[in-house]
A and B are shown apart, each in its own frame.
Chain A
Amino acid sequence: MTDAESHAEKGMAHQFEDLDQQHDADMLGIWVFLITEIMFFGGVFAAYAIYRWMYFSAFDGGSHILDIRLGAANTIVLLGSSLTMVLSVRAAQTGNRRSTVLFLIATMILGGIFLGVKGYEYHQKFVEHVVPGLDWAPEGKTLALLAPGGVQHAQIYFIFYFAMTGLHAIHMIIGMGLLLWLVLRARKDAFTPHYFAPVEVVGLYWHFVDIVWIFLFPLLYLIGGRY
């Protein structure tokens, strides 16, 4: 038996000595990647923090244009998808192929609902003409909400709204692709209780994207309050 054959545990790559080392490396790899994502989103959060401090009333006004109930509901949907995701990882860990696949599909469905609602919200922004650079002409009630803080500075708020939720949505779409890939692999019995690292890795990515939204919701929707 060659070196390669004796090491051929299911799913192990040649540069590792055993599955444990590979699992450790995979976990460390995804965590390092997640801190690069913390710094990536961190940059735009930092810029947001500066402008919110500089133009609070403009941000306040802009925030009032958003639909708080939709935002809250979407937050719960996304948290639900995190639940189904971790249940999927747990199912893989216990060797339950059917549950792994079903929970992955549930995660995709909930993610899809989130994106659908987001799409509707974006559409609403066009209806209200508050899309900087493409359709910025607030009027009527919308204008009345934005005027106190300054309409020009409110544009900055909406730029950040679209930039931050847009980047978040792109990450979610990538996540949906990864989930689909996992479903296809899981159905072909790629995972065992000793090798389910890809499910864990995608899970960690998905939870991170959820955490970004956990902060986006209050920072974009709940500024200043609704009293």
Chain B
Amino acid sequence: MSHPIVPQKTYILVFLCLIGLTILTTGVAFIDLGAFNTVAALVIAFAKMSLVILFFMGVRSSSGLVRIILIAGFFWFALLVAFTMTDYHTRTWTPVPQAWSSGAPPTHP
């Protein structure tokens, strides 16, 4: 299964978009958007990655199997982050036992 031959212009156009997005993300860093700075940076990075994957890596014309494999890879990474984060975010949801500072049993906070 061979990919169709993509015109050089397409690749160059994608490259220019990538440069533009790089300049954009660098520029946004100089503006105070609070927590949204991180979101913006990640969204732009995601867009750049998608351009590289779809065009430079040829996934636009790839088989379904390749796409499933790619999605699986990202999904598994997301599982690792999500489940681990769940632990950290919920550590304060239940009472944490106090240290035994005296002979008396601990009381809940």
Residues of A at the B interface (CB closer than 8 Å) are 20, 23-24, 27-28, 31-32, 34-35, 38-39, 42-43, 45-46, 49-50, 53-54, 68, 72, 75-76, 79-80, 82-83, 85-87, 90, 93-94, 203-204, 207-208, 210-211, 214-215, 217-219, 222-227
Contact = CB atoms under 8 A, between A and B. Distances in A.
Contacts of B3: 93
B30 A82 contact: no
B93 interface: no
Interface string B1-44: 11101101001101100110011011001111100011001101
B104 interface: no
Given A31-B69, A79-B18, A42 B80 contact: yes
A214 B57 CA distance: 15
Mostly, the B contact residues are: helix
A102 to B, nearest CB: 13
A215 B45 contact: yes
Interface residues of B, number: 48
B29 A225 contact: yes
Contacts of B30: 225-227
A227 B31 contact: yes
Contact of A210 (B19, B52, B77): B52
B74 interface: yes
Contacts of A203: 56-57
B84 A46 contact: yes
